[in-house]
Amino acid sequence: MEDDVLPELRDYGPSLTTDEASTVLHLHRATVSRLLARGELPGFMVAGQWRLRRADVQAVMLGQWSPSDGHRDSDQP
């Protein structure tokens, strides 16, 4: 539901590019790419380029995602 989306993410679609994620997370794009490659940010590759689900970026922003378990804390087993 759109009401559940943080204001910082409302202008974005269901997935973000590394440029978009870097803007929202206030990180350099290279830092976002490095964190994705290390598994420290949740993401997936499309045609050789990283994408991040908006819901995952929001989970990171809210401290609900842990790189140690590779999923959002709210995910069901």
Q: What is the CATH number of the domain that holds 60?
A: 1.10.1660
Residues 6+ apart with CB under 8 A from 45: 51
Q: What 8-state DSSP symbol labels residue 73?
A: T
Domain extent, residue 38, equals 2-64
Q: Which two structure tokens, joined as six digits, stand for 18?
A: 């590394």
Tell me the C-alpha to C-alpha distance, in Å, between residue 8 and each of 18, 36, 62: 15, 20, 12
The mean pLDDT value of the chain amounts to 88
Q: Tell me if 75 is assigned to some domain.
A: no
pLDDT of residue 35: 96
Q: Tell me if 18 is assigned to some domain.
A: yes
Strand-pair partners of 73: none
Q: Tell me if 76 is assigned to some domain.
A: no
Give this prediction's pTM: 0.81
Decide which of 53 and 76 is more confident: 53
- The answer, yes or no, to whether residue 70 has pLDDT greater than 90, is no
How many domains would you assign to the chain?
1
Q: Tell me if 33 is assigned to some domain.
A: yes
Q: Residues 1-22: what's their mean pLDDT?
A: 91
Q: State the distance between the two ends of the chain, measured CA to CA, in whole angstroms.
A: 22
Q: Tell me if 52 is assigned to some domain.
A: yes
